[in-house]
Amino acid sequence: MQNSRSERQQESREKPRGCTGFPRVLRPGLAAALLLLCLPLIAAGATIQASLDRTTIALGERAMLSVRVEGGNSDRPPQVPAVEGLQIVSTGPPTFLRYDINGQSGTMLTYNFVVTPTQVGEFTIPAITIASEGQQLATQPLKLSVRKPGASATQASGQELAFIRLYAPTNEVYVGQVIVAEVQLYLHNVVRDIGNFQVTAFSADGFNKGKTVEGRQSRARVGNSIYTVVPLYFPLTAIKAGDSSLGPLRVSFAAEIINPARRDPFDLLGFNTPVEQRQIALEAEGTHVRILPVPSENAPPGFAGAVGVYSVSMSVSPTNVAVGDPIRVRLQVSGRGALDSLTLPEQPSWKDFKVYPPISRIETADPLGIQGTKFFELDVVPEKLEIESLPEFSFAWFDPEQKAFQTYKHPAVPLTVRPAGTAPLLAGDPGEKRETAPPPRDILPIKQRVGALAQARPPLIQQPWFVAAQSVPVLLWIGSVLWRRRSEWLANNPRLRRKRQAAHAVRRGLRDLRTFAAANQSEQFFAALFRLLQEQLGAALDLPASSITEAVIDEQLRPRNVPEPVLAGLAELFQACNLARYAPAHTSQELAAYVPRVESLLNELRALTA
Amino acid sequence: MRLLSKERCIQTGPLCAQGRVGRHRPRICAFAAVAAALFICGRAAVAAPATDRFEAANRLYEQGRFKEAAAAYQELLNSGFTSPAVYFNLGNAFFKSGQLGAAIAAHREAQRLAPRDPDIEANLRFIREQVQGPRLTPNLIQRWLGRLTLNEWTLLCVAAFWICLLSLAALQLRPARKTLLRGIALAAGAATMVLGACLAGAWSSVARPVAIANANDIAVRNGPIEESPSTYTVHDGAELRVLDQKDGWLLVDAGLRPGWLKREDVILWPSGRQPDGTRASD
């Protein structure tokens, strides 16, 4: 007890830590400045959410209450109602956050409060309200369990490296009720990190276990030591009546512990923190829980086994339909309970309607998946013209907190049912209240012009000719690359280029020879013949064409063992050219007779040089 | 002779340096004119009866004989002619005769041919609003890709591809223009890749068929057998993504959970496409 008091005194001394440096008188001003800063950024739709870092604490510990206001426009901090047995104190000005995620921007203000219990018990922090743009926003009430210190485990002294505590929210549950068991893992300040955390055993007979969720870490003082508290939540659904126990629970993990005794002697400046690895196994004692059956007496007719704390709303549209047309019934069940297994009861009074199986989806509001909204959509089809209303709808559930059945009843909805195939009354329909602009009442009329008629063909990408046509630019590109390469190759090989030019000149010269022979132009004929011989011999001997004369036969060709008939033929041609300069008169036939001889000689020369 | 040819070449322009084209030019022009006239007349001659049939179907529609009008439009389409207006009117006729699924299929086909036609968009939206139960909603990317037809995406992509390769070819022939041509080739290459991705997206959205419920109260079952329990029910006009097929059953999904329904209860869109994405004619 003495120890507990000293802890509280210590905590009370620690309280102002959150607002150190800000005089009390300046705090409202600072808060107002923060709010003014975010005013132009705030979107119209504001939301408020409150959360506790732990739902179960021991007397002498503290919990952190966070109130998060997203968007909106508020110039006053939220009002936290007083709760007997709890001291709720603000930690100072709110933290302001402006975010821009995936193009969505907004602002968020978080107010933090320290909750210190003064007695053991179950507490409900009522809805916290805040005024924003003329609206009063409110949070959901929050529950906090305060246990005696050491109620579920051996009293911790503050010397332990780690210990765990298991809290069951209640000792009595009903079949179908969802409760959340909380395990608090206390890690001493010297534990730097943990890994390979495993729940090795958790006995929970009569319960279905849900997904385990880790809560927000907090700090707590135990004895003279500061511990990091890691809460773990186990959602449990009671499935079988009888006496049961939650726990014992065993966990194991590897811890990195700061051990100054293992400091490296060479680490004089203390850069490396000395740590040692240790495997730790912990156990929390179990608690007895009694699972009660849902009372069968006084169960309302619409009860289909739903257990939880719910609120229900329903809408029906359209209400002006033809026989056989569907009417969509939308039902929202919000609250806390086993939303997954929630089903809609049959409605015996809807016997004149064909009822289709509902489609449902769940939007959870917490990571445990036990708080949220389940949306049902079902189509009902009136099958008689005489129907005047959709009869009353009822949905019943058992509230384990009130320990009583609750029933939601939606009154009968008046309907206008007309014969099949008739159009609905659009004007002055009293049954339908139109809040938005009416949608177009009919499709647009048909088109009077047929437009461009075309033969039905597959898309271009599937037509072979189109795909084949795409090879044209590729071929052009490849051709251009080859052309470029060839040009560069020729540019780097002058001897070959000369041979090609000579071959080209020979082809052209032979053509000219035939032309001149046909035109009986003797002078031009022999001039062309001389040039032809010069070009071919120059290319073959790699000499300038202009330097080729008859003398080349003896000087260059004979030493190269050119056959004698070729040399004789060449000498004859050179002599004919020389003779023609002085006596150019030749007939056309004579000139034409030279052409095959020249051609044959040039071919032989080309073969020799090749 | 040579001078004469040269003169003629000068008279007829530089394109016919040898004089041959110039000599035949009047004949070529006359041939082209006759071919063009024949083509236009041929098209007009073929289109004329189709236009008459279209107008006859319109008259049936205006008289309130919607089923007969739908049959007339269908007959026109079966004869091999297609146009967005025919599909649009066919969709209207189906809608007026109470066949929401067929109406949606026809309007989707019209929209595929003319994706930016506001009338088709409005009618399709209106008809979809009449459909009860789950339905398939295209995402933002699909809607954006749907602004152009598949052929338009193809031509854009191919144009960029041609420009890219022709620039590369010109780069080989005219290295002096390297800076300009390389810039064009790079830009066109990047455009080809982007447009190719768009084309692939547009293709994938039409390659997988959509099943459009063509009857009321179609039970979607857990398995492809009659005895399998019904998971949920879809109504006439519900659009469902086809995931698989087996023995005349289709595995469909409408955003809730997959289930099986009979092939005969739905229209597959695009028409002629098999449930595995191939065309019937493939």
pLDDT, tens only, A398-447: 988 888 888 888 888 888 887 765 544 443 344 444 444 455 567 888 98
**What pLDDT, on a 0 to 100 scale, did the predictor assign at position B12?**
36
**H or E, element range at A4:** helix A2-14
Question: Domain residues for B265?
Answer: 210-269
Q: Is residue A513 part of a domain?
A: yes
Confidence of residue A37 (pLDDT cuts 50, 70, 90): very low
**Distance of alpha carbon A598 from alpha carbon A574, whole angstroms:** 11
Q: Which residues pair with A198 in a beta bridge?
A: A252
Q: Per residue in A488-543, pLDDT tens?
A: 888 888 888 888 888 888 889 989 989 998 888 888 898 898 988 888 888 888 88
> Is the same domain home to A184 and A137?
no
Q: pLDDT tens digits, residue range B250-259? A: 998 876 678 8
pLDDT of residue A437: 46
The shortest CB-CB distance from A477 to any of B83, B122, B168 is to B168
Based on the fold, state whether residues B95 and B127 are members of the same structural domain. Answer: yes
Domain C-terminal end among A112, A147, A182: A147
Same domain, A189 and A274: yes
> What digits encode the pLDDT tens for the residues B177-192?
889 999 999 999 999 9
A530 and A582 inside one domain: yes
Of A166, A168, A152, nearest in space to A207 by CA: A168
CB contact under 8 A, A450 and B85: yes
Q: Is residue A455 part of a domain?
A: no
- A369-388: pLDDT as tens digits: 888 888 888 888 887 778 88
Return the CATH number at B216.
2.30.30.40
For residues A287 and A351, state if they share a domain.
no
Is the model's pLDDT at A24 over the cut of 70? no
Least confident of A8-12, A312-316, A322-326, B73-77: A8-12
The share of chain B scoring above pLDDT 90, in percent, equals 33
For residue A116 the two structure tokens come to: 């210190």
Domain boundary among A97, A118, A147: A147
- Give the three-state DSSP class for A337: strand
Least confident stretch, A44-58, A328-342, B67-81, B266-280: B266-280
Q: Are residues B164 and B105 in the same domain?
A: no
Indicate if the pLDDT at residue A23 is higher than 70. Answer: no
- Judging contacts by C-beta atoms under 8 Å, the chain B residues touching residue A483 are 172-173
Q: Number of structural domains, chain B?
A: 4
> What's the CATH number where A198 sits?
2.60.40
In a domain, B155, yes or no: yes
Residue B281 pLDDT class (50, 70, 90 cuts): very low
- Mean pLDDT along residues A216-235: 82
Task: Please tell me whether residues A180 and A236 are part of one structural domain.
Answer: yes
Which chain A residues have a beta carbon less than 8 Å from that of B60?
none
The 10s digit of each residue's pLDDT in B18-33 is 444 445 566 666 777 7
Let me know if residue A208 belongs to a domain: yes
B198 assigned to some structural domain: yes
Quote the pLDDT of residue A275. Answer: 78
Q: Is residue A51 part of a domain?
A: yes
For residue A315, being part of any structural domain is answered with: no
- Per-residue burial over A408-431, b if 16 or more Cβ lie within 10 Å, else e, is bebeebebbbbeeeeeeeeeeeee
Interval B114-118 mean pLDDT: 88
- Mind telling me how many Å the CA of A475 is from chain B's nearest CA? 9
Q: Are residues A31 and A91 in the same domain?
A: yes
ipTM computed for the complex: 0.71
User: H or E stretch including A3?
Assistant: helix A2-14
3-state SS, residue A39? helix
Out of B101, B136, B171, a domain closes at: B136
Of B50, B58, B230, the CB nearest to A448: B58
Domain count of chain A? 4
- In a mutational test of the B interface, the residue from A328, A360, A383, A443 whose CB has the highest number of chain B CBs within 10 Å is A443
What DSSP assignment string belongs to A501-540? HHHHHHHHHHHHHHHHHHTT-HHHHHHHHHHHHHHHHHHH
Return the pLDDT at A2: 40
Which pLDDT belongs to residue B160?
Answer: 96
Whether B128 and B57 map to the same domain: the answer is yes
- Assess whether B34 and B53 both reside in one domain: no
* Residues B55 and B23 placed together within one structural domain of the fold: no
Task: List pLDDT tens digits, range A70-106.
Answer: 876 666 778 788 888 888 888 877 877 777 666 667 7
Per-residue pLDDT, A467: 93
Taking CB atoms and an 8 Å limit, are A461 and B199 in contact across chains? yes
Least confident of A485-489, A561-565, B66-70: A561-565
Q: Which two tokens stand for residue A71?
A: 């968007």
Does residue A442 belong to any structural domain of this protein? no
| Residue B275 covered by a domain | no
Domain identity same for A94 and A231: no
**pLDDT average, residue stretch B52-75:** 91
A584-608: pLDDT as tens digits: 667 888 888 888 888 888 888 777 6
Closest by CA position to A401, among listed A141, A182, A50: A141
Which pLDDT score, from 0 to 100, does residue B197 have?
A: 94
- Residue A11 pLDDT > 60: no
- pLDDT for residue A43 is more than 50: no
> A444: distance to nearest CA of chain B, Å?
6
pLDDT-wise least confident of A158-162, A186-190, B99-103, B240-244: A158-162
Token pair 């002779």 is found at B1
The confidence score (pLDDT) of residue A74 equals 64
Nearest beta carbon to residue B154 from set A448, A461, A473:
A461
The structure tokens listed for A500 are: 């090609």
pLDDT tens per residue across span A226-257: 888 888 888 888 888 888 888 888 888 888 88
pLDDT confidence tier of residue A50, bands split at 50, 70 and 90: confident
Task: Report residue B105's pLDDT band, with 50, 70 and 90 as the boundaries.
Answer: very high
A470 in a structural domain: no
Task: Note whether B200 and B214 are same-domain residues.
Answer: no
Residues of B in contact with A444 (CB under 8 A): 92, 119, 122-123, 126
User: What confidence score (pLDDT) does residue B15 get?
Assistant: 37
Has residue B7 got a pLDDT over 60? no
Is residue B278 a part of any domain in this protein? Answer: no
Asked if A357 reaches chain B (Cβ–Cβ under 8 Å), the answer is: yes
SS3 breakdown of chain B: % helix, strand, coil, rounded to 5? 60, 15, 25
Whether residue B276 lies inside any domain: the answer is no
Q: Which residues 128-147 on chain A approach chain B with CB closer than 8 angstroms?
A: none
Same domain membership, residue B238 and residue B183: no
A460 touches chain B (CB under 8 A): yes
Residues B175 and B229 in one domain: no
- Residue B279 counted as domain residue: no
The secondary structure element, H or E, covering residue B220 is strand B218-221
Domain that holds residue A398: 321-418
- State whether A199 and A111 are in the same domain: no
Query: Is there a single domain that holds both residue B93 and residue B70?
Result: yes
Q: With an 8 Å Cβ cutoff, are A450 and B82 in contact?
A: no
pLDDT for B191: 96
Clarify whether residues A112 and A6 are in a common domain: yes
Average pLDDT, chain A: 79
> What would the pLDDT profile of A279-327 be if each residue is shown by its tens digit?
888 888 888 888 888 888 878 877 888 888 898 888 888 888 877 778 8
